[in-house]
Amino acid sequence: MNIDKALQKVISKYMTLEDALPTKMPEYVNSFGYFFGTATLSSLAVIFISGIILVFFGPDWWHFTKVGAFVNAVHFWSVEVFYVAITLHFTFKFFKAAWRDGRQRTWMNGWAIYAITIFSGISGTLLQANWDAQWNSQQGKDAFAAIGLSWMNWLNYTTVLTLHVVFFAALIVLLVAAHLTFVRSESPVRPIVNEGKDENEK
Amino acid sequence: MSITSDKNLRGIPMKPYDMVREGLIVFSTIAIIVLILAAFWGFPGKNYWPLTIKEVATKAPIAFLNRTVTYFDGTSGLQTYGPPYTHDNANAQRIGPFCPACWVGVMFPLNAKVDLVMQPLQQIADLNPAVATALKTYQQASAKQQMAWSQAYTAALGKAKVQNGQVILPNGDYGPVQVLMDGMLKFARAGLLEAALTVNTNPKLAPYNTDYTRAFLYLGGNIMNTVANHFDEPGGNWGMSHMAGPYPAAWWLWPYTLLYQIPAIGNLPNADLVAFLIFAAMLGTLIFLPFIPGLNRIPYKIPVYKVIWRDWYAKYPSGDPSKPATK
């Protein structure tokens, strides 16, 4: 069996160039309900860009320079905007029942991303090297011990830094890539027909 | 298009589109919004510096000595913490037999007396002959005698006064303990204790020590709680979702931190475990929502979708594109 050939077959079946870079959309894609996913992705991009800059200069840089303080503020605000966007995104997807026609995978993967961002956000808070970070790590150690997560040493700054900038970041990138692949491969969900009366038989 | 899209979009009218252009427009808009917020508000929290041991030893020497003597005589919470630090599971949070902390076990063994006090004292003894003599006297005494000195010293701390930065104790038999504790206080005031605690974690790795766990743990308990109360930040005050200053930080954690505001949960000895399990159940419900009968029907009952797709329903009232509206 030729593996390349097999992969070609799968990709051309589930992700054509027209799926990856669409030049046309169904007519019903005409609403604010389709905007917040893109907004979530955009704010995530700003989080990553500002985060990468912070990584280069080290986690204490923002305490001592004006530029560092500004990049840190951009990182902070992009996270705030991200959560506003993702909240609106899943609210709209819920009211569209967007898991219809076999799209449950996308919905579940989205919530997995949300769960990981929570841990990513906590680890980011602990990196601030200020009183808040110190207090939260002190409080957090009890919670992490209680839920059996103390093996990720949340009081070891280097571990937390690595978790935040590598592990959680990579998980988020992977799952977001999967999320976008599902969405593009399956097309946007169609409007509800007959007020959903036939939905549960499917 | 893919076979899934072809199946899903059969009979659906299409319109021209440019995804990358739309993405760039949205990204630029969001980036500009974030830059404006950052330029205008900066980092909105009050950025207090971390609490250093030097600061505590200088401004609140009695609090520092109280904390240090609890490690020294084994009465601190850290000595009976349980996993991941000590082998005694009595204080591990559990619900009946469900005890994730016990299953993970002692990942980071910590002997608070040795790791937080005796090791630094050995180093102080190298610098200060009086401390070296006192340390020898202490180590040669019986355990009973050691405890008697510590208890007398702890009781005296309750009546101690601070004059010109000096801690004045009433007269009593503290054996060598007073000299040892003063040695710790001077060392802390010199700003050396965090560094010693960190290096002592793995002395052979000296230039590569990156684990600050011991230094973080040292001020835990009463000292940090006092400071947190001062800033309105104890757990009963919305915990992680509340940062120093008037702003919320991680407001998306409200469903979780709310649980701690309920006395029936927040006051439990295993509050962290209970709150997390409730929060995990909330998240689990959301993850599996498409499969939960009743909940997965809510979108049909609350017809927000009719507003979202109003243009479509104006054309095709049933939602089915093969049945256009009759004019």
Q: Could you tell me the residue ranges of all domains in chain A?
A: 30-96, 99-187
Most confident of A37-46, B243-252, B299-308: A37-46
The whole-angstrom distance between A5's CA and the closest CA on chain B is: 17
Find all residues with CB under 8 Å of A63, minimum gap 6, and list them. A69, A129, A130, B47
Extract the residue ranges of chain A whose pLDDT is less than 50.
201-202
| pTM: predicted TM-score of the whole model, two decimal places | 0.93
Is residue A51 within 8 angstroms of chain B, CB to CB?
no
What is the average pLDDT value for chain B, to the nearest integer? 92
* pLDDT interval class at B100 (50, 70, 90): very high
Q: Taking residues B44-73, report their average pLDDT.
A: 93
- Tell me if A76 and B251 make a contact (CB, 8 A cut-off): no
Contact B42 A73 (CB under 8 A): yes
Whether the ω angle into residue B84 lies within 30 degrees of 0, i.e. cis, is yes
Q: What is the pLDDT of residue B235?
A: 65
Q: What is the pLDDT of residues A171-186, one digit of tens each?
A: 999 999 999 999 999 9
The total number of residues shown for chain B amounts to 327
Please check whether residue B309 touches A, CB under 8 A: yes
**Cβ atoms of residues B268 and B262 within 8 Å:** no
- Sequence length of chain A is 202
Give the separation between CA A143 and CA A63, rounded to whole angstroms: 28
User: What's the CA gap between A199 and B6, in Å, rounded?
Assistant: 20
Residue-level pLDDT at A202: 47
* Cα–Cα distance measured from residue A155 to residue A173, given in angstroms and rounded to the nearest whole number: 25
Per-residue pLDDT, A200? 60
pLDDT band at B79 (very low <50, low <70, confident <90, very high): very high
Whether the per-residue pLDDT at B327 is higher than 70: the answer is: no
Task: With H, G, I as helix, E, B as strand and everything else as coil, classify residue A24.
Answer: strand
Interface of A with B in 9-48 (CB under 8 A): 13-16, 18-19, 21-33, 35, 38-39, 41-43, 45-46
Closest CB from A76, A87, A192 relative to B305: A192
